[in-house]
Each structure stands twice: as structure tokens, then as C-alpha cells.
């Protein structure tokens, strides 16, 4: 008869079962760790214990995971050991970061932990939760994206307070962008964020809005994308971060897609941002000026000029500029609806300066960008476009409600900037880089180079050429 396998109910018991003096000492150190203990102190001890004791019996000499021993860990009751399991799995993910097979074994166990763990318990070991998210996000290059994205999104939703930005949000957004799984992260973005949750730094806050804006751009939700990008443009501080500059570039192009124009940048507390933009984003101001002229030829000439094209490609924004060119053509057709009720397709092509205008109008009708019908009666006669009146009057209840909602959103956005800045100021400046005010840093510049490599040439299916994103 096979010997029954021992069952452990706590990390302490599992440690005492290991034939090691260090494990026994560690068990004593961690004995009785529960909600009545000082969780942060315990978690720091646990991390050192995991590195020196727990990993030894779980990882073979060749670096492979020992699944049978891992099952002992996975079998620990989550309600009593969630914090310990967070530390263990973060250490194992880091240990197996170059072993796809080990990651494929670990990640379903991590996903199960995230589903079962209590939110309050996770919030008592915040640094360890962020470390787990970091290790999980790093695995996306070696395992199926969905296996990483969903646990990360679930972890972010469970760990974060409803109105807070966390570093876990950033890792979840990062993973969704790399995997092109944009819709999975929408639950994170759908709630207004008015404060931050430790541990977090300035870069995390800026990246949350920048990456969130990229997700909305990929989903063609341009208005929401502009709102997130614009947050970074009004974030107060003593300097201007590279992330803020990149947010402006995206905002300028996405504004053309959302509204057909680039509005004046939001007001900031200093002239520094405007001066930096004038120096580092001149190309985008030139494109906006060309768009305002209404000339497709002029916009395309500037876009394809060698210096502009090289800049757009280096920034990962050439695909967005191509979409802006298409948006300009559609904008010109929309402008004609205020002047004409009926136009021959051939005349419309001349006035709008769009060769294949019939196909464009058909697409605009399908996208509900214009109310029109294309007629060809009798058969064989010239095709005509009939523009229809807007079915919604501008003085109806729906319009008033929409205006009120927009005003409320602006007020909330201003409050969010103040609240987040106050929350960051309260953390104080530390050598670790967490805390302080929004400003320039070498960390941001290094991050920029890394993101360019991560996100370039992301195909979201807008055009024949992929949209390139930072």
C-alpha cells in the first residue's frame, strides 16, 4: 500500500517538514504569522526565507521545477497562507524566468491564488503583491499571453481600492498591450482614479495614463484616449518627463481622429511644458497646422517629408499619422454635409479631393459618421449622395444631459489631478525613487528606450500597415 502524502495547513508546517536546520529556524521565525502580526515585517522575513530555504527543495539542480514538491505548496489553504504564497510564487517566477516549461507549470497556480486570495490580505503585503505582478508580467514573452493577462488583471482589480492607481495596474496594462488583448484591461480603466495606492512612484502614475490611452487608441475610443493622455500634460511638477512628451505626441494625433482638430494643450502651472513641446514635438504641431488647412496634399507632403517620416517612425507614430490623413478626408466630407443636401459622387470627389469617395462615404455611413444614402436611379445614371438631417436636435434632453456629463467629467478630471498630486506629495521623496513630484528623471529616459523596443510595430488592424506605438 502506497504511503499517504503528508498534508500541510501552513507554511510553518511545510518548513518543519524540510530536513534542514535553516528551515526549522525559518519556521520558528514565521510561526503563527496571521492577520494579528505585523505583516510588512513578516513579509520581509518571508522573502529572505523563501530565497534561502523554500526554493532549494522545489528546484532541481538543472533549474527545472520539481512538480511533486510544488504541489505541497499549492495545496496550502489559501485563506491561511495567501501572503506566504504571494512571496513563494514571486520568487519561483523569478527563478523560472528563463524556463518556459516551469512558467507554464507555475502560472495556473498563481492564477488560482489570485482568484482565491482575500483582498484585505493582499493589501497587507503590498510590496510583495507588486513584485508578484512584475514577475508575472515578465513571463509574457515565454508563455501564452492570455495565461498572464487574466491573472494580472484580476490581481489589479482585487488589490486596488476602487479609486486608486497602483503599480499592478501598470503591469496589467503593459501585458495587455504586448499581447494585443486590449479589451481584457477595460475593467481597470472604466473607473475614475482620484488617488494612488502604495507602493507607487511618479513613473507608475504617468505610465498608467499613457498606457491606458494607448489601449483606448487601439480600440478606437479616441475621446477616452485623449482624456488619459491629457492628464499627463497637466500633471504638475518642476520638470517635464519624457513620458509626458510622448503623451503629448499621441494626444495631438489622436485628437485629430477624435475631433478633427488639435485643441490648445491644457493649461499647466508653468511655461516649461510648452517650451519642451515646441523643441521636442515640432513635427506634431506642423501636422496639426496642415490638418487645419484642409489640404490632403499638404498634410501628406509634410507627413512623408524625410525628416517628419523619420521622426514619426522613431516615435512609433507613423501609423497614427496615416490614420489622421484618412480622418482629414472624412472630415472634409462631413463639412460638405452642412452645405449640400445632394451631390453627385463625381462632384463630391472633386470638392473633397478624395478619389475613391463613394467607398469612403459608404464606410462613413456604416460607422455612423454621416447620415446619408447613396442612390443610383435609374440604373446606369450617375451615383448621387443624399445627406440627411441629423435625427437628434441640439436642444433635446439627450444633448443637455451630454453637456452636463461632459462638464462633470472635466470637474472630476481636475479633482483627480489635484488628488493624485497630493497623494504623491504625501509619500515624500526617497532615494528609492518612490514619491516626489512629477518631473524629469533619468529613470524615465531609460524607460522610454525600453518601451520603444517593447511596443513598436503593434498591429491593431487599422490599416494595411500596422499602427506603431511607443
Tell me the pLDDT tens digit for each residue of 296-328.
889 999 999 999 999 999 999 999 999 999 888
Instruction: Tell me which of 147, 167, 191 is where a domain ends.
Output: 191
433 in a domain, yes or no? no
284 in a domain, yes or no? yes
226 in a domain, yes or no? yes
Residues 157 and 115 in one domain: yes
The answer to whether the beta carbons of residues 463 and 319 sit under 8 Å apart is yes
Residues 418 and 297 in one domain: no
Residues 109 and 242 in one domain: no
**Residues 37-62, mean pLDDT to the nearest whole number:** 70
302 in a domain, yes or no? yes
69 in a domain, yes or no? yes
Residue 32 has pLDDT above 80, yes or no: no
Residues 275 and 158 in one domain: no
8 in a domain, yes or no? yes
- Look at residue 34 in the predicted model and tell me its pLDDT: 52
196 in a domain, yes or no? no
Beta strand 195-196 with 372-375 is unpaired
Residues 13 and 108 in one domain: yes
Q: How confident is the model at residue 136 (pLDDT cuts 50, 70, 90)?
A: very high
Positive/negative CA dihedral, 167, 170, 171, 172: positive
Burial class (CB in 10 A: 0-12, 13-18, 19+), 292: middle
Residues 241 and 332 in one domain: yes
Cα–Cα distances (Å) from 192 to 133, 163, 195, 232, 371, in that order, read: 22, 6, 9, 15, 33
Residues 173 and 35 in one domain: yes
Instruction: Tell me which of 169, 191, 213 is where a domain ends.
Output: 191
What single-letter DSSP state applies at residue 467?
P
Instruction: Tell me which of 164, 191, 218 is where a domain ends.
Output: 191
436 in a domain, yes or no? no
Residues 126 and 162 in one domain: yes
Q: How confident is the model at residue 460 (pLDDT cuts 50, 70, 90)?
A: very low
Residues 359 and 312 in one domain: no
Query: In a 3-state reduction of DSSP, which class is residue 375?
Result: strand
Q: What whole-number distance in Å separates Cα of residue 364 and Cα of residue 385?
A: 12
The answer to whether the beta carbons of residues 280 and 241 sit under 8 Å apart is no
Q: What whole-number distance in Å separates Cα of residue 225 and Cα of residue 215?
A: 8
Show the domain range for 360: 339-391
Residues 177 and 72 in one domain: yes
> How many domains are contained in the chain?
4
Residue 375, strand partner residues: 384
Q: How confident is the model at residue 412 (pLDDT cuts 50, 70, 90)?
A: low
This prediction's pTM: 0.78
364-379 per-position pLDDT tens digit: 887 777 888 887 766 6
The answer to whether the beta carbons of residues 228 and 190 sit under 8 Å apart is no
Residues 373 and 454 in one domain: no
Cα–Cα distances (Å) from 262 to 78, 326, 470, in that order, read: 52, 16, 20
| Average pLDDT in the chain | 77
Residues 16 and 120 in one domain: yes
Amino acid at each position: 500500500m502506497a504511503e499517504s502524502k503528508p498534508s500541510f495547513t501552513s507554511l510553518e508546517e511545510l518548513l518543519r517538514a524540510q530536513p534542514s536546520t535553516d528551515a526549522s529556524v525559518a519556521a520558528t521565525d514565521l510561526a503563527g504569522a496571521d492577520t494579528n502580526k505585523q505583516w510588512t515585517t513578516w513579509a520581509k522575513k518571508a522573502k529572505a526565507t523563501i530565497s534561502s530555504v523554500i526554493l532549494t527543495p522545489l528546484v532541481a539542480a538543472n533549474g527545472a521545477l520539481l512538480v511533486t514538491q510544488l504541489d505541497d505548496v499549492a495545496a496550502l489553504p489559501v485563506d491561511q497562507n495567501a501572503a506566504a504564497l504571494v512571496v513563494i510564487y514571486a520568487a519561483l517566477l523569478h527563478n523560472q524566468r528563463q524556463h518556459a516549461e516551469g512558467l507554464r507549470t507555475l502560472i495556473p497556480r498563481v492564477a488560482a491564488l489570485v482568484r482565491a486570495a482575500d483582498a484585505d490580505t493582499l493589501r497587507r503585503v503590498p510590496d510583495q503583491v507588486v513584485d508578484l505582478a512584475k514577475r508575472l508580467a515578465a513571463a509574457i514573452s515565454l508563455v501564452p499571453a492570455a495565461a498572464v493577462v487574466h491573472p494580472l488583471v484580476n490581481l489589479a482589480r482585487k488589490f486596488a481600492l476602487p479609486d486608486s492607481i497602483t503599480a499592478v495596474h501598470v503591469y496589467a496594462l503593459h501585458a495587455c498591450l504586448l499581447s494585443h488583448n486590449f479589451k481584457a484591461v477595460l475593467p481597470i480603466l472604466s473607473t475614475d482614479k482620484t488617488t494612488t495606492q502604495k507602493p507607487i512612484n511618479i513613473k507608475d502614475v504617468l505610465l498608467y495614463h499613457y498606457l491606458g490611452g494607448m489601449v483606448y487608441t487601439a480600440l478606437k475610443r479616441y475621446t477616452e484616449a485623449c482624456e488619459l493622455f491629457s492628464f499627463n500634460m497637466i500633471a504638475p511638477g518642476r520638470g517635464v518627463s519624457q513620458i509626458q512628451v510622448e503623451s503629448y505626441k499621441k494626444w495631438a494625433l489622436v485628437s485629430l481622429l477624435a475631433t478633427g482638430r488639435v485643441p490648445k494643450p491644457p493649461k499647466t502651472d508653468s511655461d516649461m511644458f510648452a517650451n519642451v513641446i515646441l523643441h521636442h514635438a515640432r513635427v506634431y504641431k506642423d501636422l496639426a497646422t496642415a490638418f487645419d488647412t484642409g489640404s490632403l496634399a499638404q498634410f501628406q507632403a509634410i507627413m512623408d517629408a524625410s525628416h517628419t517620416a523619420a521622426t514619426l517612425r522613431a516615435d512609433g507614430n507613423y501609423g497614427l499619422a496615416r490614420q489622421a490623413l484618412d480622418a482629414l478626408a472624412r472630415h472634409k466630407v462631413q463639412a460638405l454635409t452642412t452645405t449640400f443636401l445632394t451631390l453627385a459622387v463625381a462632384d463630391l470627389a472633386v470638392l473633397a479631393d478624395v478619389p475613391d469617395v463613394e467607398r469612403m462615404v459608404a464606410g462613413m455611413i456604416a460607422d455612423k459618421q454621416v447620415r446619408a444614402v447613396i442612390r443610383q436611379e435609374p440604373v446606369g445614371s450617375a451615383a448621387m449622395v443624399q445627406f440627411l438631417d441629423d435625427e437628434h436636435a441640439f436642444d433635446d434632453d439627450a444633448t443637455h444631459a451630454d453637456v452636463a456629463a461632459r462638464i462633470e467629467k472635466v470637474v472630476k478630471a481636475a479633482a483627480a489631478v489635484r488628488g493624485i498630486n497630493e497623494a504623491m506629495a504625501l509619500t515624500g521623496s526617497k532615494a528609492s525613487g518612490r514619491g516626489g513630484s512629477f518631473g524629469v528623471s533619468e529613470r524615465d529616459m531609460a524607460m522610454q528606450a525600453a518601451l520603444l523596443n517593447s511596443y513598436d510595430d503593434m498591429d491593431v488592424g487599422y490599416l494595411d500597415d500596422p499602427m506603431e506605438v511607443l
